[in-house]
Amino acid sequence: MTDVRTATRPETDPREDVRVAARAPAARPKVVIVGAGFGGLRAARALRKAPVDVVLVLPSG
């Protein structure tokens, strides 16, 4: 079986056609927890060591 890259451009090295795009560092995902009751605080505590940013939203009333 012939490699398509070398069949279409035999004068080049097949690795020249493959380029890895430079990626920016991945941003940490954000988790929003609405409410600071037992469930909200438990969820925030469970996510404390996870690689995420936690935002706890309290009612303003």
- Arithmetic mean of pLDDT over the chain: 76
The residue-averaged pLDDT of 6-35 equals 68
Residue range 33-49, pLDDT digits in tens: 999 899 999 999 999 88
| Angle in degrees, CA 19, 14, 26, rounded to 5 | 20
Task: Provide the residue ranges of all domains of the chain, joining segments of one domain with +.
Answer: 28-53
Burial environment of residue 33 by CB neighbours within 10 A (0 to 12, 13 to 18, 19 or more): middle
Can you give the pTM of this predicted structure?
Answer: 0.52
Residue 5 has pLDDT above 90, yes or no: no
